[in-house]
Amino acid sequence: MPVFRYRSVTDMPPPWTDPADPRNLQLVSEMLRFYRRYSATPDLPRGVRRFRTIEALNEARGDPYRR
């Protein structure tokens, strides 16, 4: 995806939706619901974990197809 730099706000294209549209709040709510559904599950701790072997990683994931 290309990155565009603008010298001023007047050079920018108009927003793709009207900022005063009342449906904007509903769209944000749907995006947050999607994010919560597909982000880290509560049974997994947050952060970075290190494993010495691939086998230890697969064991920690609990994936029955990779044991």
DSSP class per residue in 1-67:
------SSGGGSPPPSS-TT-THHHHHHHHHHHHHHHHS--TTSPSS----SSHHHHHHHHT-GGG-
pLDDT in 10s for each residue of the chain, 67 residues? 788 889 998 998 888 888 888 899 999 999 999 988 877 666 666 778 899 998 888 888 877 676 5
pLDDT at 36: 82
pTM above 0.85, yes or no: no
